[in-house]
Chain A
Amino acid sequence: MAIMGTIAPILTAGWMGANGDDGWRLADYVARGGYAMLRQILENRRPPEEIIAEVKTSVLRGRGGAGFPTGLKWSFMPRALSGDKYVVCNTDEGEPGTFKDRDITRCNPHAIIEGMAIAAYAMGANRGYNYIHGEIWEIYKRFEEALDEARQAGFIGQNILGSGFSFELFAHHGYGAYVCGEETALLESIEGKKGQPRFKPPFPASFGLFGRPTTINNTETLASIPFILKMGGEAYLNAGKPNNGGSKVFSVSGHVNRPGNYEIPMGTPFTQLLELAGGVRGGRKLKAVIPGGSSSPVLPADRIMECTLDYDSISKAGSMFGSGALIVMDETTCMVKALERLSWFYHEESCGQCTPCREGTGWLYQVVHRIENGEGRPDDLETLAHVAGNIGGRTICALGDAAAMPVQSFIQHFRDEFLYHIEHKTCLVPKDVQWAGSDFHRFGN
């Protein structure tokens, strides 16, 4: 996989090109200037409010997909409250198309640890967990090793660097549940329960892990913290676009010549990222891109080609920036089949708690599956719109919306393809074109 960029790598700095992820260890990180910011903050007893203000200035927005301003989130924590308070890192990366946190953890785990320690200091937290996607077990083990290194070096644990500040940090692994990427499901999971999201309010900042004040941030968000503080919030913001601060790691998958992670400034034109990723595979025509992880609405080629990669531009185009994960599909792709697979995913991953999602995601899949298999009925698209409409906005967490949006956007932009499937019991994209493109169609399960 490619890890590249147009700027000096920050988040993916441990990537040593041909030597892969060799630069992940503590010594390498320290050699790159790592832990200097934590040391400086603790030695100078830098006021926590000042750190939070700096993060606010940077306009860093949550990199997990929701894009909530990080500094603001931090300011919700009741610093003065006595007792345990938690910082939790969300490395439960299971949204199809998203794989940036895996690479950040793989080549730069200490950036996460340093970011978490600084976050804990800023918010008055004393314990932390990094929740790591179960399927990337090797990365979980690496993070545990990095924790051991950091603990031995005194960067986490009791009385860090003699400052009197203590922060205990542990890794908790998932074991196969996409929904645990939702922050309250993740907390339930750390508590040893099924990953069923909690109704909010109360929000985690007041009632989080074990009922204590908790802030959950994405891996990339936390890993960005040491560098934001190092370069200054203002400079970080200027590296991106107004309201879209900084640089970011973009995951590009699907029909490109060089799938991988690309660390580039926010606001970079999509066309430039596509070029970095080697362009559309085989030089074929671009058909569509899902721009922010599988839950975000799909955009047809003409729309995405106009976009710059930031919250505002993608939102204006009718989708969501999400986690910055772009799934690229070329002209050989059957959109019905693509939607069928995504619908299966949301059905499979529904936690089963809320009626609309538990019942509705299965219904959506059943209908799309029929259409794909030549058993479509004339009123199916109306049914899909009706069902998706009754799921979206009616559930505890956003998985319901995530299941509804692909259905709505695929049908919105590729209605003809769906109608053709229903009417002709076969695909609009000719078989030879499909097969020429990839094995996607030839070997359906």
Chain B
Amino acid sequence: MMFSAETLRKFNREVAKYPAGRERSAVMACLALAQEEQGWLSPEAIEAVANYLGIAPIAAYEVASFYNMYDLKPLGKYKLTLCTNLPCALSGANHAAAYLKEKLGIALGETTADGRFTLVEGECMGACGDAPVMLINNRHLCARMVPEEIDRVLEECA
């Protein structure tokens, strides 16, 4: 198995949430944990999760490729997912995108040369009252992404 003991322990905790024989239900959580540990979902990681849960690798791949927070390619240390959907756009998301692109010197979907940041466009995160919002590494949701706030948030990314 290619995962740490800690990650495997977390796998077990997820599997335990579902009735016996329904291990497949934990595939989303296990893929997320695998990605958290390894930074992205390599084919090997997807297959290892599938084997762990006793499902076909293609069944795990279907899931990994369907939900857009799974990263099937390696990316920067910090993935910045900026919501550009309508409520965020009305509140300056496009400005935030332009500012980020200029500050990081990359286009959407690209990674900085030093491998620190990957900038991607996201869909609605369900936090439109804080628009524009940006999600860091699928975990931390940042509110009101005006330039000063963007500067502050990026600085915190050590």
Contacts and interface: CB of A to CB of B under 8 A. Distances in A.
Chain A in direct contact with chain B (Cβ < 8 angstroms): yes
Contacts of A255: 90
B98 A178 contact: no
Interface in A152-173: 170-173
A175 B86 contact: no
Nearest to B64: A175
B90 to A, nearest CB: 4
5 contacts: A96-B86, A173-B28, A176-B67, A444-B94, A445-B94
Contacts of B25: 172, 190-192
A58 interface: no
B69 interface: yes
B113 interface: no
Residue with the highest number of chain A CB atoms closer than 10 Å, among B18, B32, B53, B98 = B18
A19 to B, nearest CB: 17
Interface of A: 1-2, 84, 93-99, 101-103, 127, 129, 133-138, 170-178, 189-195, 210, 251-255, 259-261, 290, 294, 325, 327, 329, 333, 338, 341-342, 345, 348-349, 351, 438-445
A165 B89 CA distance: 48
Interface in B104-158: 108, 121-131, 135, 138-141, 143
Question: Per DSSP, are chain B's interface residues mostly helix, strand or loop, or mixed?
Answer: mixed
Nearest to A352: B66
A259 B88 CA distance: 11
A112 B66 CA distance: 29
User: On chain B, which size bracket covers the interface?
Assistant: 35 or more
Given A93-B126, A192-B27, A445-B121, A135 B141 contact: yes
A94 B123 contact: yes
Contacts of B84: 341, 445
Interface in B46-77: 53, 55, 59, 62-63, 66-70
Nearest to A437: B90
Contacts of B131: 253, 259
A438 B91 contact: yes
A260 B116 CA distance: 33
Given A127-B19, A175-B32, A345 B89 contact: no
A316 B1 CA distance: 59
Given A96-B87, A253-B91, A136 B62 contact: no
B80 interface: no
Contact of B123 (A176, A195, A327): A176
B135 A96 contact: no
A327 B86 contact: yes
Given A135-B126, A135-B141, A445-B108, A175 B70 contact: yes
